[in-house]
Structure 1
Amino acid sequence: MTRSALPTLTLAELARRLGARLVGDAERPVRGLATLREAGPDQVAFLANRAYLKELPDTRAAAVLLHPQHGEACPVDRLELDNPYLGYAAASRLFDPLAGREPAGIHPSAVVDPSATLGERVEVGANAVIEAGVSVGDDVVIGPGSVVGADTVIGDGTRLHANVTLYHAVVIGARCILHSGCVIGADGFGFAHDGSRWHKIAQLGGVVLGDDVEVGSGSSIDRGALGDTLIGDDVKIDSQVQIAHNVQVGDHSALAGCVGIAGSTQVGRHCLLGGGVGLAGHLTICDGVQVTGMSLVTNSIHEPGVYSSGTGAMANAQWRKNAVRFKQLDDIAKRLARLEKGRDA
């Protein structure tokens, strides 16, 4: 959709939909969003981070979404909200070019098994494949080249972008978004070793995604070995994330890019895992835990809070000196213990 085809709203209508207080021309038309620096006279900008206050005086936007405390400094019309970032999120959906478009139906090159059940207003893109026993809800979009394996269930309003792969017997909730290249339901990493070679363990479980889940491009969620891998409602998963078999992720948790979770680990509700975080297998992470980027977690966490591991970047010469000292820590600790014992004698 070209920019000229984007929906046009008046500031009054936008304020009503966002629940914002409008200060300015109610009839001014706007047709999109942009940054403070780049917005033109028919676009709305937003200010949610004080670091960008310096750009506010020079903005050319039609209006700015901002907190009331910054209203007097705004040189253009404004939409005041206590949480401008949340307002920006809502506004972005109003101007989303994919929203509100009519479904294109089933492309002639798509392959849909006769036993599959498709709901109302379903779109199936070019060269997509829907296998036997699949159940697809209403208002579902299955992008070009996507594959939906046998006996899979897809809830209402879910969108599969191009080249998404759902293996057999996967359950996807309502209003989910699965981005290109993600794979849901591949075999978990399960093998038994007899002393000389590996023997595959058939992965007999499935994957269940709750409602309102988003999975980024190139991410993988493996099926369970016996029971299912479970992803709760409103979980947000970034790109290049690996979730192993029988992992459970609680409602409203968010996983940033390149997170890796080993098998059978349970992550609680409202948890935040920063980019590159690794969780070892068979752990329990309680509700309300935040793990900062590039941390490795090897033990269960039973108290909510912020957790970190590793060392920050430093000059290589300093790191090399510290690496030598790391190896000496055990000897230093023993010597210190002997000194303290002698002092207390």
Structure 2
Amino acid sequence: MLNRDAVEGTDRYVVTCLYGLEGLLADEVQERLHVPGERHWSEVAFHYGGDPRHVGALRLAGNVFLCIDRVRIGPSLADLAPLTDRLRALPLARWERLAGAFHDEAAGEIGIRVDRKGEHRFTYAQVEELALEAVATATGRRTTLEDRPLQLKVDVHNEWCRLLARLTVRSLAVRDYRRCHARSATDPTLAAAMVRMTEPRGDDVFLDPFCGTGSVAIERCLAGAAQRVVAGERNERRIGWARTNAQAAGADVQFACWDAAALPFADRTFSAVAAVPPQSEPSGGRRWRPEELAPLVQESLRVLRFEGRMVWLMQQGDLLPEVLKRVAPHCPVSTLACNWKGRHWTLYRIEKSF
């Protein structure tokens, strides 16, 4: 059975993302590629017939897969015959052509990865053995269970099996501009999500008050035109790292050293603020008390214009709402939960109403 969801003249892509960012990624797919995206757990699927390099330009994406097919199977080993048949008709040439838009590493062996969920009377090892043999027969290539530039994912979920050919050797979240890196650095796709939640505009005056190694400010520059992008923090060494990264990205960011509780700007200077305050791991090893966080939030709101947009990323899920009740009780607040490095985080979007 060929791809039952196929649209003539297009390929079906599956693009992964951090859990919780599926909606934002689907919006980015619609905006950049002009096709609708289907949201699933930590991924978005869509049909696209244009240049695959445009898929590689998605700022919120992780890995990119070509969806070869979805095959219905039964619970026993004998019921995997449809999967074997489909693997033996693997479209290797199309896979390699699309993968070539993402990397130029030598193909060589084909890696196989199996994921299985549900009740079945066969094992991981049996599916792996079946896939290794069928793909080797179909392609004349050696197959392995180790990671390779050409990697096939056999995703078994209850009565369905999905075949995904990975197109990316490394996640799109790995940014070439990150020359200087810290363990606490914000994931670039999460930084891009924060920027997207500020609704970037060409006349923006944008502030990142806790810049770290510069990810949020750089992603704002890469998201489109802005009148001015300003970022800083109190650690001069990290500001130096951020400058190096911004230069590598070609991002025009004005960096400065400051205390985020006493920013050197007049009231209502900025149209948008995005902030990741130092907090519990993986971002700095600190837990805030309300009386400590409140002056920082208040200061960011002071320099934000009326109806300006502010996005904060917090791990302490109940802390920022408590602080906002004190310092900005009438500002509209929306939230987005996500998972980063195995921990639960919340993105807060605040619109200044005073």
Identify the TM-score tier after normalising by the shorter chain. Answer: under 0.3
